[in-house]
Amino acid sequence: MERVHAVGVLIAPLGFLVAAAVATTAKGVRPTGAIRSVRLGSWIGLAVAVTSCIAVATGGAVRTPLLGAEGLGLSVRLDPLSVVIFTMISVLAVVILRFSVSYLDGDARQGLFLSRLARTIAAVQVLVLSANLAMLVVAWVLTSLALHQLLVFHPERPRAVLAARKKFVAARLGDLLLVIAAAVLYRSVGTGQLDAIFDEATAGSVASLPLAVAAGCLVAAAMLKSAMFPTHGWLVEVMETPTPVSALLHAGVLNAGPYLVMLTTPIIAQVSGAGVALVLVGGTTAALASMARITQPSVKVALGYSSAGHMGFSLMLCGLGLLPAAVLHLVAHSFYKAHAFLSSGSVVDEARASHVPTPQRLGSPVRLALGAAMAVAIYVPSAFVWGVRPDSEPALFVLGAVLVLATTQLVAAVTDSDGPFVAWLGGAVLALVVTSLFFAFEATMHTLLHDLVPDVDAGRAQLAAAGAVTVGFGIVLVQQLRAPSRRDSERRQAWRIHLRNGLYANALFDRLVMWLWRPLDRRRVTATPTGRSTPTSQPALTTAARY
Amino acid sequence: MFDTNDTTDTDHTHDGHGPGDVGPVMSAAVRRIAPVWKLEDFVAVNPYLGMVDLDVADAAALLHRAAGARSTAPIRHRLQQLDDGIITRQDVADALSGALRHSAVDVDGFLAEARSSGELEGVRPALTLTSCAEAPGGLDLDRFMVERLGAWASAFHDDGQASWRSAVRGEGIFASWRAEALVDRTPDLMGLRGFRAAVAELPADHASAATSVLSDAGLSAELLELYFQALLLSVPGWSAVAARMDWEAGLRGGEEDHLLQWLAVLVCWDHAASAAAGTPTSVETWRGRLADRARHAPTELSIALVLQDARDRAARRELARRLETADRAAPSVAIDVRAQVVCCIDVRAEVLRRHLEHVAPDVETLGFAGFFGAAIEVVPLGHDHAVAQCPALVAPAHTLHESLGDPDRADHAVRSRRLRHQLRAAWKQFRTGAVSCYGFVSPVGLLYAPKLVSDAAGLTRPVPAPGTAELPRWAAPGLTPAPDGRVAEVPLDARVAIAAGALRGMSLTEGLAPLLVLVGHGASTVNNPHAAALECGACGGHGGATNARVVAAILNDPEVRAELAQRGIEVPPGTHVVAGVHDTTTDQVTLLDLERIPATHRDAVERLGSDLHAAASRVVVERAHRFAPTARDAADEARRRSRDWAQVRPEWGLAGCRAFVAASRARTRGLDLGGQTFLHSYDWRRDDDLAVLEQIMSAPMVVASWITLQYYASTVDPELFGAGDKTMHNVVGRMGVLEGCGGDLRVGLAQQSVRDGSVLQHEPLRLSVMIEAPTAAIDAVVDRNQAVAQLVTNGWVLLHAIDPEDGRVLGRASDGAWAPVACGPVGSDLSASDSEGELAA
């Protein structure tokens, strides 16, 4: 299955790199050359992605032979997993770059911005296509370095710099862990080709200590990349840079963590502790971040917390061995989140349309329970229709439980309201549609990915951890369902303040970073007494070429 | 202004330690802050609103002392304009001899000084107590204050974003902040150990808390006020939100103290943070800094003010010259006027009127505030919240309910809208819920892929248009504020008053044409938090179609016409009134309620409709010149902008506004005023008691000055009064924007709204007001209206009279003397504006 021409898929990242190089040279307002080159690059990328989809669908997975020495070098894998993510990124690239052309119109540094976006996209694409450890590590590091440049697009903004530094600390730590994992694996197996490593690992011919070290490092690197609690601080602050960066980061770059775990499942699955860690850390982050999210008054920070939560949820699914479900969640989240960021200005339209009286929430336990019962009553027959036996596989049971909790929220919001009965029907229909879509997409993903993914069964420890997380989810749901009809006690109020502040993990991270950079900053201290803008952000009237 | 008196002396004479002293100074300080409206009904506000009792120079000095503000264009830029001949030496000489204080009196001396001068330093002074404290661990305490107070304020003022409210509501600003400060661990964790303890020691009541904190400081009233201004202006956005709460209470006739409470929060934060900073703060150092700053009067500021004044003089001289010459060249209005078209005074209407008159010379156009005198609020169908359709200065007098003609259909539509809204709310809880979001994304997230593509292509909107959102499709076209062409919700005498007020205000009490068209205006944009800023300001930042339809219905009402006749206003039976709307983003003009046009008028309406269409297609071409050149057809390009969800400049709005002319159209007809001039129709001969003139000067003129000064301030000091960079806007609490992840609320206009790259689309100028009336009449109005007098005598607007006899333009100096402004031709043959000439280059 080694076909050399599959290396042609690298035209896509190459195209973005060329476009980035062209765009860097384009100076000034409305850099036509930059705009044309990134536009062309993004369309080429999409064309390549579609072609590779067709190729894999018709010809099966492909891995190109190694271009390099000592088992390290360039090698591309095209399999359902990489192609799905690759295509997703290519679609996002077209939309995000198109958005940036209008959005930064008139900005004197638009060319530079487009160039940095294109560079980052190229790095992510290489990462996704990597079939060799060396290529993977290099692309991994380049992704975060390229992203860093986007995060400090406005270097005069102190908060942007602080957030980027936090990201820098987390990213370098993650890089280190990935390098350790790669080195251990390379030493044990003697090659950097991932296929070979995975084969050895599944065959059990890698010693358990190196395997455990590698799995541990990989999981930890993924967690750092994806802003798991308590290192999430940077993620909820990087809206100090233009919106398209947030869209790309949340939809295209943050994914690298779960993607690494998915890719290296053959290794991670051998170490049950790794799976437990994924379930616990992922599940905890999912619960905390989504509770912090609903206390946030600003739309972009709320979206930031939401992303951390979804990455946690994806990692949890990975830990449970539910890879197809994790991939589905990851891809679905990317499109959802890119749209949410790019359309975040529309909340004002929503506010204008929101002054419609809504029925009173009653807070009746009976009605809430009825809502839950309806959700279950919709789920069980649907599962039967789709031929899924949740009880046959405990991990699937956990996933099903999350869906039922979710549809309970949907239905109970209606049944617990003092509204017309026809609304109950509407709620039930929506829940049925959601449940059906869930099974349809899960089934599709399973078909797409089942022969790629090793059949991993979650161990008892993972399941226990997942059970604990699910119970936690249940408690949170009950809190949320009862909130609209309940008076706020002082204690609950205090907890919400703690949650809004992300349980202060971010404040501690701030202090750490300020301490780390202290020597550097002290040298740079200027005579300016306080922070009303640094000279670069002074009213641009003085710097205006023309008035 | 502030004397530089010795602080210790004043302490003893005024008993600066006494708690009674702080309160009045606080009350005085908060009056300086202008309000800001929510994004839903974002209207222009004069950011200097609280300063109009000071003259321009004193206000600039105060703002500079307290916040390092810049209040003029840069010196270098004005000197360039002098070299380019846009400003003349005579302008500079006039400015020097005017009311502004500057030591140099001869022009050469002044210019030499100006050329060797640097720019005014725009750095915020360190006037807080914490700025004198040693900050722990490299923490910037002033910035930290803005972040922490911003975090609380975002949650407190949240208007529906967070589903779990985390700020204590209902107990006022101070109590809520105090409750949070006792819980929030952030300051302690960031090294301000003991912050919570310091807050706990404060009295729970805001006035006593502020007083107790400041009782030992020994500050004179002057220094206290400087300190308060500095605090309020360190978070200008959240201060403005509190000011708006007070303003709204005032409109309802009450008096509330939100801003005072906010000032107490700022004072207490400063105190607690400096107490917790570890090292003891030196009160003497702090007092010394305040005293130094109170004496601060940089020469750069006075130079810049003189040059700004010179530029304003040049601008008004140019406009006066054009008005005087135009008078001779104006084509006479056809005697047989086919139709009268009344547009808003908005500067964008000037372009439409000019082109309409060009394509249809027998159509007369008029200008009137776009709410057409109907101070109404409208409850959209099925909503429970009324939308004010009148200027922010006015409290709505009548509530209308949007409806469909047929009550059964309306009921059906209401039920349907409410059901959909309930389900949408449930769906939103499902989408964003703490647990349910995970069950949402897997099945539904993928559906966002096609939506992402179609929204990006402009085929769909990210969310439905609010006006018709959640309504069944069949209901949308029938929505009307005036069902069956009647406005039954307003009592007859009030309808008559609205009709009479509108006709008098438009100077249309006689000579009505067979067709009278009221053209309101609105904007169509997508995904734009500041959409309301592009809509009709006279309609409270909403579309003007509603008011046009309501007033047209009132004017067509036979009962109203009968009553009007009794009051001596004859609306000829052959006159029909039609409503229309001008979409300023796409430049399309649509006539409304066409099914109610009587058969007698159908042809006339149809003909006028095609005239308007022809005019609008010329407007869109003219306005396209302000954008980067494109190969696309101008109308297509405008439509594309109006649907582009990434568009930061769907249109230029009112950028460039600089003058207000209240005169008969004969004075301006045929002049290309470049879309920079508010035009109000006014005929002084029909205004015996000067009621109309007083109305014009106290309402439309004031609103025009608000708009102009908002653009002015957002341009000269984008940091303090502008909304920053749109690309980083983050809507907070569904009511305002942050720039980035937190901190202060951004008010005013974004950079993208005033500039295009480095080229300004708005040149900061004060509003030149030109009124065609005898100077005595204008003086009489100025004398009897204090608000107008302040604007005029303190130099916030430049008032001129157009002599009704010979058309000469006379300027009014601050001492009340009138003198001609256009002293002969100046070697400038530029069209409407100099900056436009630059833009074309």
What does the block give as tokens for A405? Answer: 């909790």
Residue B282: band (very low, low, confident or very high) from pLDDT cuts 50, 70, 90 = confident
Average of per-residue pLDDT across A456-483: 88
Residue B519: band (very low, low, confident or very high) from pLDDT cuts 50, 70, 90 = very high
The torsion angles phi and psi of B597, rounded to 5 degrees, stand at -70, 125
Residue A519: band (very low, low, confident or very high) from pLDDT cuts 50, 70, 90 = confident
Is it the case that residue B14 has pLDDT exceeding 60? Answer: no
* Furthest CA-CA distance within chain A: 72
Residue type, B141: L
Chain B residues within 8 A of A298 when measuring between CB atoms:
154, 161, 730-733, 738, 741-742
Produce one character per residue of B564-594: b if its CB has 16 or more CB atoms within 10 Å, e if not.
beeeebebeeebbbbbbbbbbbbbbbbbbbe
* Of A139, A315, A328, A158, nearest in space to A232 by CA: A315
pLDDT score for A35: 95
Is it the case that residue A538 has pLDDT exceeding 90? Answer: no
Which position has the token pair 């540094």? A109
Q: How far is A157 from chain B (nearest CA, A)?
A: 9
Chain A residues within 8 A of B39 when measuring between CB atoms:
348, 351
> Backbone dihedral region of A60: left (phi > 0), alpha (psi from -120 to 50 degrees) or beta?
left
Name the strand (E) or helix (H) holding A165.
helix A158-189
pLDDT score for A531: 37
Chain A residues within 8 A of B529 when measuring between CB atoms:
345, 347-348
Average of per-residue pLDDT across B564-571: 93
The rounded distance, in Å, linking the Cα atoms of B821 and B22 is 47
Is the Cβ pair A106, B752 closer than 8 Å? yes
Is the Cβ pair A336, B439 closer than 8 Å? no
Is it the case that residue B163 has pLDDT exceeding 80? Answer: yes
What does the block give as tokens for A52? Answer: 């590779």
pLDDT score for A452: 65
10 Å CB burial of residue A37 (0-12, 13-18, 19+) is buried
pLDDT score for B251: 87
Poorest-confidence range of B6-20, B733-747, B762-776?
B6-20
Question: In angstroms, what CA-CA distances link B820 with B87, B314, B817?
Answer: 18, 13, 10
Question: In angstroms, what CA-CA distances link A507 with A461, A511, A512, B187, B468?
Answer: 33, 6, 9, 9, 44
pLDDT score for B103: 59
pLDDT score for B825: 42
Is the Cβ pair B168, A493 closer than 8 Å? yes
* Of A410, A168, A175, nearest in space to B443 by CA: A410
Which pLDDT tens digit goes with each residue over B174-222? 999 999 999 999 999 999 999 999 999 999 999 999 999 998 888 999 9
Chain B residues within 8 A of A294 when measuring between CB atoms:
162-164, 432-434
The rounded distance, in Å, linking the Cα atoms of B117 and B11 is 38
> Backbone dihedral region of B764: left (phi > 0), alpha (psi from -120 to 50 degrees) or beta?
beta
Which pLDDT tens digit goes with each residue over B105-160? 688 999 999 999 999 988 899 999 988 887 777 788 999 999 999 999 999 999 99
Produce one character per residue of B35-67: b if its CB has 16 or more CB atoms within 10 Å, e if not.
bbbbbbbbbbbbbbbbbbebbbbbbbbbbbbbb
Average of per-residue pLDDT across A65-78: 92
Question: In angstroms, what CA-CA distances link A230 with A254, A282, A290, A306, A310?
Answer: 16, 11, 14, 14, 15
Question: In angstroms, what CA-CA distances link A98 with A45, A109, B338?
Answer: 14, 16, 48
Which pLDDT tens digit goes with each residue over A253-277? 999 999 999 999 999 999 989 999 9
Q: Hey, of A46, A96, A97, A339, which one would you mutate to test binding to chain B, going by the most B CBs within 10 A of its CB?
A: A339
Q: How far is B561 from chain A (nearest CA, A)?
A: 36
The rounded distance, in Å, linking the Cα atoms of B534 and A24 is 35
Average of per-residue pLDDT across B361-386: 95
Q: How far is B496 from chain A (nearest CA, A)?
A: 31
Chain A residues within 8 A of B464 when measuring between CB atoms:
349, 353
Return the SS3 of B719.
helix
Average of per-residue pLDDT across B606-626: 95
Is it the case that residue A142 has pLDDT exceeding 50? Answer: yes
Using omega within 30 degrees of 0 as the cis cutoff, is the peptide bond preceding A230 cis?
A: yes
Is the Cβ pair B443, A435 closer than 8 Å? yes
The rounded distance, in Å, linking the Cα atoms of B241 and B735 is 10
For chain A, the average pLDDT equals 90
Residue B21: band (very low, low, confident or very high) from pLDDT cuts 50, 70, 90 = confident
Average of per-residue pLDDT across B649-654: 95
Percent of chain B clearing pLDDT 70 (strictly above): 93
Question: In angstroms, what CA-CA distances link B65 with B1, B295, B515?
Answer: 11, 9, 56
pLDDT score for A488: 78
pLDDT score for B835: 39
Which pTM value belongs to this model?
0.94
Which pLDDT tens digit goes with each residue over B165-187? 888 877 899 999 999 999 999 99
Crossing angle (nearest 10°) for helices B691-698 and B492-505: 90
For chain B, the average pLDDT equals 90
pLDDT score for B122: 86
Is it the case that residue B294 has pLDDT exceeding 80? Answer: yes
Percent of chain A clearing pLDDT 90 (strictly above): 74
What does the block give as tokens for B582? Answer: 């001008």
Of B126, B430, B456, the CB nearest to A95: B456
What are the residues whose beta carbons fall under 8 Å from the beta carbon of B779, sequence distance 6 or more?
B816
Pairing of strands A67-69, A72-74: antiparallel
Q: How far is B265 from chain A (nearest CA, A)?
A: 18
The torsion angles phi and psi of A187, rounded to 5 degrees, stand at -65, -40
Average of per-residue pLDDT across A331-344: 97
Average of per-residue pLDDT across A49-75: 91
pLDDT score for A545: 28
Is the Cβ pair A294, B434 closer than 8 Å? yes
Q: How far is A68 from chain B (nearest CA, A)?
A: 38
pLDDT score for A60: 87
Chain A residues within 8 A of B40 when measuring between CB atoms:
348, 351-352
- Per the CB < 8 A criterion, the answer to whether A58 and A102 are in contact is no
Is the Cβ pair B436, A407 closer than 8 Å? yes
- Per the CB < 8 A criterion, the answer to whether B638 and B587 are in contact is yes
Average of per-residue pLDDT across B28-38: 95
Is it the case that residue B500 has pLDDT exceeding 60? Answer: yes
Q: Which residues does residue B522 pair with via DSSP β-bridges, in sequence order?
A: B583
Residue A541: band (very low, low, confident or very high) from pLDDT cuts 50, 70, 90 = very low
Q: How big is the A-B interface in CB pairs under 8 Å?
A: 459
Chain A residues within 8 A of B716 when measuring between CB atoms:
539, 541
What are the residues whose beta carbons fall under 8 Å from the beta carbon of B404, sequence distance 6 or more?
B381, B410, B413, B475, B478, B479, B480, B483
The rounded distance, in Å, linking the Cα atoms of B466 and B527 is 12
Produce one character per residue of A421-454: b if its CB has 16 or more CB atoms within 10 Å, e if not.
eebbebbbebbbebbebbbebbeebbebbeebbe
- Per the CB < 8 A criterion, the answer to whether A265 and A137 are in contact is no
- Per the CB < 8 A criterion, the answer to whether B581 and B521 are in contact is yes
For residues B346 and B324, the model is more confident at B346
What does the block give as tokens for A66? Answer: 């190694």
The rounded distance, in Å, linking the Cα atoms of A317 and A403 is 13
Which pLDDT tens digit goes with each residue over B777-811? 999 999 999 999 999 999 999 999 999 998 999 99
Poorest-confidence range of B2-6, B55-59, B70-74, B297-301?
B2-6
pLDDT score for B138: 76
Is it the case that residue B534 has pLDDT exceeding 60? Answer: yes
Which pLDDT tens digit goes with each residue over A88-140? 999 999 999 999 999 999 899 999 999 999 999 999 999 999 999 999 999 99
Which pLDDT tens digit goes with each residue over B547-556? 999 999 999 9
Average of per-residue pLDDT across B473-501: 94
Average of per-residue pLDDT across A451-461: 70
Average of per-residue pLDDT across A321-329: 93
pLDDT score for B685: 92
Residue B823: band (very low, low, confident or very high) from pLDDT cuts 50, 70, 90 = low
10 Å CB burial of residue B323 (0-12, 13-18, 19+) is buried
Which pLDDT tens digit goes with each residue over B398-451? 999 999 988 999 999 999 999 999 999 999 999 999 999 999 999 999 999 999
- Per the CB < 8 A criterion, the answer to whether A96 and A45 are in contact is no
Q: Hey, of B169, B442, B446, which one would you mutate to test binding to chain A, going by the most A CBs within 10 A of its CB?
A: B442
The rounded distance, in Å, linking the Cα atoms of A427 and A420 is 11
* Of A247, A372, A356, A262, nearest in space to A316 by CA: A262
pLDDT score for B821: 86
CA A40 from centre of chain: 26
Is the Cβ pair B444, A529 closer than 8 Å? no
Q: How far is B12 from chain A (nearest CA, A)?
A: 32
Is the Cβ pair B421, A356 closer than 8 Å? yes
Poorest-confidence range of A192-196, B100-104, B299-303?
B100-104
Is it the case that residue A350 has pLDDT exceeding 70? Answer: yes
Which pLDDT tens digit goes with each residue over B706-752? 999 999 999 999 999 999 999 999 999 999 999 999 999 999 999 99
* DSSP classification of residue B107: H
Chain B residues within 8 A of A409 when measuring between CB atoms:
429-430, 433, 435-436, 439
The rounded distance, in Å, linking the Cα atoms of B821 and B320 is 7
Is the Cβ pair B452, A422 closer than 8 Å? no
Percent of chain A clearing pLDDT 70 (strictly above): 93
pLDDT score for A387: 84
